[in-house]
Chains A and B, each alone.
Chain A
Amino acid sequence: MSKSAKTKNKENKKAGLNKTAICGLLVSLAGIYIALLVTFPENAGLPPAAPLTFAAGIGMIAAIVWAADSVRSISKYGLGTGVPSVGMFGIGLSTVIAVFAAFLNTIWSPIIGAVLALAIGWISGKLINSVIGMNIPGMEKRIAEITAGSTLAMMASFVVVTGTINPMAAGGYIFTGTVTLGFIGIAVAVFHAYNANLGPDEKPDRTRMLTILDASMLLLIYGIMALLFRLGISTSGGADSGMVGASLQTLIGPAVIIFMSIAFILIAYYKFWTYVKRDAWKIMETGLLPSEEDLN
């Protein structure tokens, strides 16, 4: 116990990122860039369309898994205010950072967003740890990771809905108020898995599978939303909402996202259920409470 705690401390003090973090960072960045860079050329006056937005959807899931992993590491120490608070802190910072990075209007926006989020998250964690005196080992690193993961998920959600990251798209996303789904949806997806599995027999693989399930459900809502938005714009022809004009090519992404996320949901739910069957003490159809002998 003490030895594992010691190695855990050492791991927390290390400045570098662990395997999950590197995977989450790289996969989400790669997803966002695949979706952004593979575009059909401009035709018939419509802006270039991004057909592969589902890559950004996969990136969003990876980023959420990364952030949720950090929530798990930090919440094990007991924050005194419940698991959700740290998720809300991260999403508060990352909403500001993600929208800011989107408004920079360069192709480097996702990378700038991730770096800013790591830096600001680290500073905030340092301030909370040293000035307020939480004294949680590795708090700086974990808050930086939560913020960065949420920021990348938020930017991926921009790409999923609008197909681009630019002020016009982000502005339209904000005017319609749908950015709210990113705010609360990503926050719940990040902290729900650990909160729902809280207990002494919590298993990392079960928590991670639940994170994938939560993220896929969020992605499904985003897919439906993106499909309806693009259909709506293609019929009304109104580009004033700031969304990318729709053509058949822009409908590929949302359609794939819907099918992909339904598949992910089913697989993740099935896997989660097998883990529950593995971990639960006893699964009973019905029954009375366990007797005294059972408990001792």
Chain B
Amino acid sequence: MDPLIGMGVLALIGAVAAIAGYTEDLESVVGSQSNPNSQVQLAPQMKYPHRLFNKAISGEPLSNGLAAVIGAVIAVSLDIYFDLSVPTLIVAGSIAAMMIHVVLATTSFFGRISSQSRFKQPLYMDVFKTHIPTIAAYAFMTTACILIICFLMSIYLSVGIPIPLLALILGITVGAIGSAVGDTHYGSERLYQNLEFGSGINAAYSGNIVRKAESGIRSGMDNSWFASKFGGPTTGIAFAAVLFMTSWMTVLFNPAWGNAVGWLGLIAGILFVAATAVINRYLEKSARRNFGPYREEEKTEIVE
């Protein structure tokens, strides 16, 4: 294929991936899925009942992988019998995935809250009714974006992997990145916004999450507003970068042109990884210089 078209497709994949990462992170924040869920789960036990949506389908990778695979399977099956255009297939698949995701989210919320009855955590129906449409919309967006990437990859980049398998791989990857990158901001900043900025959350505060909003009582909606400012965009950047950098290796340095070109791709990959390590080191040093230590250096003994 023409490398120029390849680069164009890559740019499109990157753009769609950024949206997928963004919506994936916001979807998990609205429902308090994944790792920060441990604090939301712990709060009633510490006598802090809350009005957050407690959605524990599973870790983000698996629930997103499932949604993507359901969408892909429905799209592929519809393609066998009906003569539909690709966008229609994507929308139909995403709607099916969204419906299953909503049922899983609903039952998780009901199940987790009613398993905490001894801590007197009420089951608020209005929390359920206001959060479900948001969760559904974000789940639809994420699945649709993943399916768009799958179809682009399989039609233009000729990856040669069936679409459901591709959807599983990309769904698990977007979930892994979403929980690795986006959760931090929600878990250690938003849930503990009353604590001083600039320190890790003392384990003694576990479960003592902020329950008051800017006005009224905090819900998952307020949290998604917060996450859309930092956690969501960074997740989007990370997922787009992963897809762009890994596909770029095979599109620009297409191994079909000869093995030497493939080895050039390897060198480019190594250079990129080295560059991230250098940037990371610079970030680490600048953070230490600017933030300073928590304790005086002289007064503490090194315990080897």
The answer to whether B162 and A177 have CB atoms under 8 Å apart is yes
Min Cβ gap B16→A in Å is 21
Q: Is the CB of A228 within 8 A of B70?
A: no
CB pair A290 B122 closer than 8 Å: yes
**B: interface residue count bin:** 35 or more
A276 touches B123 (CB 8 A): yes
A-side interface residues, number (CB < 8 Å):
63
Q: Are B111 and A184 in contact (CB under 8 A)?
A: no
**Does chain A have a CB within 8 A of B77?**
yes
Question: Distance (Å) between the CB of B181 and the closest chain A CB?
Answer: 19
Interface residue SS majority, chain A: helix
Distance in Å: Cβ of B2 to nearest Cβ of chain A = 27
The distance in angstroms between the C-alpha atoms of A232 and B110, with both chains bound, is 39
- Are A281 and B66 touching (Cβ within 8 A)? no
Please give, as numbers and ranges, the residues of chain B lying within 8 Å of A294 by CB-CB distance. 120
Q: Does A92 lie at the interface of the complex (its beta carbon under 8 Å from any beta carbon of B)?
A: no
Tell me if A170 is interfacial: C-beta within 8 Å of chain B: no
Given A176-B162, A201-B117, A221-B74, decide whether A84 and B59 contact each other with a Cβ distance below 8 A.
Answer: yes
Q: What chain B residues lie within 8 Å of A280 (beta carbons)?
A: 110, 113-114, 117, 122-123
- B243 lies within 8 A of chain A by Cβ: no
Q: Which residue of A lies closest to B55 (CB)?
A: A196
- What residue in chain A is nearest B45 (Cβ atoms)? A200
- Interface segment out of the listed A11-19, A28-36, A209-217: A209-217
Q: Mark B162-175, 1 if CB is under 8 A from A, else 0.
A: 11111110000000
* B residues 99-114 touching A (CB-CB < 8 Å): 100, 103-104, 107-108, 110-114
Q: Known contacts being A276-B123, A285-B125, is A181 close to B112, with CB within 8 Å? A: no
Residues B107 and A196 in contact, CB atoms below 8 Å apart: yes
Once the chains bind, are A175 and B162 in contact (CB under 8 Å)?
yes
The distance in angstroms between the C-alpha atoms of A197 and B125, with both chains bound, is 18
Interface 9-residue window, one of B46-54, B198-206, B260-268, B270-278? B46-54
Determine whether the beta carbon of B51 is less than 8 Å from that of A289: yes
Instruction: With CB as the reference atom, state the residue of chain B lying closest to A191.
Output: B58
Contact digits for A202-223, partner B, Cβ 8 Å, 1 yes 0 no: 1100110010011001000100
B103 near A281 with CB under 8 A, answer: no
A284 touches B112 (CB 8 A): no
Are B122 and A221 in touch, CB under 8 angstroms? no
For A199, A207, A221, A272, the residue with the greatest tally of chain B CB atoms inside 10 Å of its CB is: A199
Say yes or no: A285-B126 contact (C-beta < 8 A), given A180-B167, A201-B115, A224-B74.
yes
Q: Is A185 in contact with chain B by the CB < 8 A criterion?
A: yes
Shortest distance from the beta carbon of B274 to any chain A beta carbon, whole Å: 32
Closest A residue to B162 by beta carbon equals A177
Measured CB to CB, the closest approach of chain A to B81, in angstroms, equals: 4
Interface residues in A137-196 (C-beta closer than 8 Å to B): 175-178, 180-181, 183-185, 187-188, 191-193, 195-196
B63-112 with Cβ < 8 A to chain A: 63, 65-66, 69-70, 72-74, 76-78, 80-81, 96, 100, 103-104, 107-108, 110-112
User: Of the candidates B110, B122, B168, which one forms a contact with A281 in the assembled complex, judged by CB atoms under 8 Å apart?
Assistant: B122
Query: In the complex the two chains form, what is the Cα distance from A231 to B78 in whole Å?
Result: 10
Can you list 18 pairs linking A and B with CB atoms under 8 Å apart? A83-B58, A176-B76, A177-B161, A177-B163, A177-B165, A177-B166, A180-B69, A180-B167, A184-B69, A198-B56, A201-B117, A210-B111, A213-B103, A229-B80, A265-B103, A281-B116, A281-B119, A284-B125
Give me the interface of B with A, judged by CB distance under 8 Å: 41, 47, 49-51, 56-59, 62-63, 65-66, 69-70, 72-74, 76-78, 80-81, 96, 100, 103-104, 107-108, 110-126, 161-168, 211, 217
Q: A229-B77, A281-B123 are in contact. List 5 more A-B contacts (CB 8 A).
A: A177-B72, A195-B108, A197-B112, A200-B115, A221-B100
**3 closest A-B pairs (Cβ-Cβ)?**
A177-B162, A199-B115, A232-B80
